[in-house]
Amino acid sequence: MSVQVESLSKKWENFSICNVNLKIGDGEYFVILGPTGAGKTLLLELIAGFHKPDSGRIIIDDTDVTVLPPEKRGIGFVPQEYVLFPHMTVAENVEFGLKMQNFAKAEREKIVKET
């Protein structure tokens, strides 16, 4: 999987990134280093799709995913928060895994309700 970020900018709460460009080739290891508040987590959350950038593009495997939601990007992400997708409700988070396992809608609704 390759990841490319082009001129990515975002201001969110007390954090911001400005005109970030990077290219991670298929099979490469990549480290983001910086002091607290530098925007490392914001950059990762933008790539994962938890925020929409103010400007710029995010390309995964030659596909522009800038406007796609996290669950459509085909990437793994270990969040710092206790929920899988912070932009979804608790019920939607619970149902997501069931959808990925092709549970029938009625069964998903039953499990979500019991949870």
What is the set of domains in the chain, with CATH numbers? 1-69 (3.40.50.300), 81-115 (no CATH)
What element of type H or E holds 45? helix 40-48
pLDDT reported for residue 88: 84
Tokens (6 digits) for 18: 């400005």
pLDDT along the chain (115 residues), means of 10: 97 92 93 88 93 98 96 79 75 88 94 89
pLDDT reported for residue 51: 94
Per DSSP, 30 falls in state -
pLDDT reported for residue 37: 86
21 close to 8: Cβ distance less than 8 angstroms: yes
Cα→Cα distances 91→77, 108, 113, Å:
19, 10, 8
pLDDT reported for residue 72: 92
